[in-house]
Amino acid sequence: MKVLVPVKRVVDYNVKVRVRPDNSGVDLNNVKMSVNPFCEIGIEEAVRLKEAGSATEVVAVSVGGKSCQEQLRTCLALGADRAVLIETDLDVQPLGIAKALKALQDKEQADIVIFGKQSIDGDNCQTGQMFAALSGMPQATFASEVQVQDGKLEVVREIDGGLQTISVTLPAVITTDLRLNEPRYASLPNIMKAKKKPMDTVTPEELGVDVTPRLEVLSVEPPAERQAGIKVESVEELVDKLKNEAKVIS
């Protein structure tokens, strides 16, 4: 059984992002980049499925520029068997990524495709669902527990009202929630081994896919700085300020 895990290159979650002076986007110069944390959970789950004997091969794939090779090597060091880079210099959006991955899935014929539920940069939470719709595969989103049983996946999902358990037939799409697992750290021996693992490169054109962005970002602004609070001497003064200055009560 083959598991395909799409991963995204994002600004490391420990880095405080800066907006470019012209407000055209986020400043990525000299910024540490990492595997999207939710995608890392996806890689961990795929490796665990292989270790449990449920999967035979784990393939990591990313859509982006040559710099994505760094994150794919990280996935190889974490346990993926091989990697595929769909190389493009365009700022590909969720629909374009889903189309490119669908074209790759047509070639790979993976039994399980594990997405992170969202990326920490765009926070769109769309790609996995779009891919499932394009490929006609059943999907189990926001998974907090996954088990393979008799050619099916039993998935516990996190929903607003609590937990929902569903069963989907293979091939299927999963999107990972935070509580699915805790990703491992890559050991030095595995980092060295990852350099010898295969990594293929294809282009969207070779896959017959148009990934031209359909949305245009007009401007990006940092959140407004929070003003310092004040202390009041009495409840009466607090009510007066809430009523006459903040105007949140009448």
**Residue 150 pLDDT:** 83
Residues 98 and 100: their CA atoms lie apart, in Å, by 6
Q: How far is CA 183 from CA 42, 45, 75, 223, in A?
A: 9, 8, 11, 31
Band (211; pLDDT cuts 50, 70, 90): very high
Residues 125 and 25: their CA atoms lie apart, in Å, by 20
**Residue 28 pLDDT:** 86
What is 2-221's CATH number, 3.40.50.620, 3.90.550.10, 1.20.120.1730, 3.40.50.2300? 3.40.50.620
More confident residue, 225 or 95: 95
Percent over 90 (pLDDT), the chain: 73
Residues 64 and 194: their CA atoms lie apart, in Å, by 20
56 with 1: CB under 8 angstroms? yes
Band (206; pLDDT cuts 50, 70, 90): very high
Residues 204 and 216: their CA atoms lie apart, in Å, by 20
**141 φψ region: left (φ > 0), alpha (ψ -120 to 50), beta (else):** beta
The 10s digit of each residue's pLDDT in 126-166 is: 999 999 999 999 999 999 999 998 889 999 998 888 899 99
* pLDDT exceeds 90 at position 247: no
**Residue 115 pLDDT:** 96
The 10s digit of each residue's pLDDT in 36-79 is: 999 999 999 999 999 999 999 999 999 999 999 999 999 999 99
**Residue 245 pLDDT:** 84
* pLDDT exceeds 90 at position 217: no
